[in-house]
Amino acid sequence: MRKVSVVILNWNGAEMLRTFLPSVVKYTNPELAEVCVADNGSTDNSVDIVRDEFPSVRLISFKENYGFAEGYNKVMDNVATDYVVLLNSDVEVTEGWIEPILSYMESHKDVAACQPKILNYHDKKKFEYAGASGGYIDKYGYPFCRGRVFDSLETDNGQYDTPADIFWASGAAMFVRRDVYVAVGGLDPKFFAHMEEIDLCWRLLSRGYRLVCIPESKVYHVGGATLKKENPKKTYLNFRNNLLMMYKNLPSDELRKVMIVRCFLDYLAVVFYILKFDFSNASAVVKARKDYSFMRKDFKSLRDENLRQTKWSKLKFRYDFSLILQSKIFGKTTYSRLVK
């Protein structure tokens, strides 16, 4: 019986499906996993491509674009396996990528989610931005990885090839227990896109589960395929959703102090963009803060529920330092220098 559903959420990604789906079909053991494409109301020929060119792939069709978060929430109602892989449409997988993670999760029942080692598709010796070899955050909500600190990407020399407990698993290639995903509420659809996987992982950790990176499994990710890194919309969603995530999950004794510092750091980012004459991204940060203030009241009940369900408020892999200070001022631009 198949234990895993590998699900690629697609929206108008016909060419990416043609490019990357073949590796998923080739290297996914059909005895262990089914390969699915969940189409988010595409208006291109994505659906026809899956039906005509990939007959072994199961197609799940939605009539509209639900975004990354709600799209995957709806996927859970359409699969029945123990594990689901949230796989971006711009990921090339490698031989044997399923087996080591499935084996680890089968033998460690306290692990709710895992990710493989994620390398850069265009420079396969480098780690990729969105996940690298496992993710963490600093005290003020800034994410970083084994292999990536802000825009500094390390060369993969095997330095992070040991399995490691992490704070967040990348949504580019996340293995998750389906029943646990549903029980904790899944990805937050109000986020639409960006930061939603870190928010989910925070809930999983605080409720007593572990998250692990298994580098024996390896994939290559293009990254930025939907929105380029400096796109103002991406800047807006990253800042807004990061603030909402912090509000939803921070312990009460930390919330006010941390958010005061975040306000200062966010407006420092505005000044940074202005000095680069990047007024679009500066405006995106200002709008993100304004909309966060407006939306916060809608997240009060979710915050209350998270605090009620929390078993561990002091999470080990939310590090008690400022990533900006350590990396930009003290020059610590690798994980191994940040965390000794």
pLDDT tens per residue across span 302-323: 999 999 999 987 898 999 999 9
CB 118 within 8 A of CB 172: yes
Segment (H or E) for 116? strand 111-120
Q: So what's the pLDDT on residue 314?
A: 82
With a cut of 90, say whether residue 287 has pLDDT above it.
Answer: yes
At 129 the pLDDT is: 94
Amino acid at 164: A
User: pLDDT-based confidence at 146, cuts 50/70/90?
Assistant: very high
The pLDDT score that the predictor gives to residue 225 is 44
Looking at residue 156, its amino acid is D
Which pLDDT does position 194 carry in this prediction? 87
Provide the whole-model pTM: 0.94
Q: What is the pLDDT of residue 227?
A: 43
Contact 82, 177 (CB under 8 A): yes
pLDDT band at residue 192 under the 50/70/90 scheme? confident
pLDDT at 226: 46
In the predicted model, what is the mean pLDDT of the chain?
95
pLDDT higher than 80, residue 224: no
- Which of 207, 124, 212, 203 lies closest to 164 in space, CA to CA? 212
Q: What percent of the chain has pLDDT over 70?
A: 98
Tokens encoding 256: 């006010």
pLDDT tens, 229-274?
Answer: 578 999 999 999 999 999 999 999 999 999 999 999 999 999 999 9
Provide the angle, in degrees to the nearest 10, between the axes of the packed helices 279-295 and 252-275.
Answer: 160
CB 166 within 8 A of CB 174: no
192 against 172, higher pLDDT: 172
> Which pLDDT belongs to residue 229?
56
pLDDT digit string (tens) for 55-105? 999 999 999 999 889 999 999 999 999 999 999 999 999 999 999 999 999
pLDDT (mean) for 128-154 = 96
Contact 110, 180 (CB under 8 A): no
Give me the residue label for tokens 């900006």.
Answer: 324
- Which of 340, 331, 319, 336 minimizes the C-alpha distance to 160? 336
Q: Where are the domains of the chain?
A: 4-221, 232-338
Contact 192, 72 (CB under 8 A): no
Q: What is the mean pLDDT of residues 198-219?
A: 98
CA 20-21-27 angle, 5° bins: 100
Exposure of 298 in the CB half-sphere (CA atoms within 13 A): 10
The domain 4-221 having CATH identifier 3.90.550.10: the answer here is yes
Token pair 């509209």: residue: 64
| pLDDT tens for each residue of 30-50 | 999 999 999 999 999 999 999
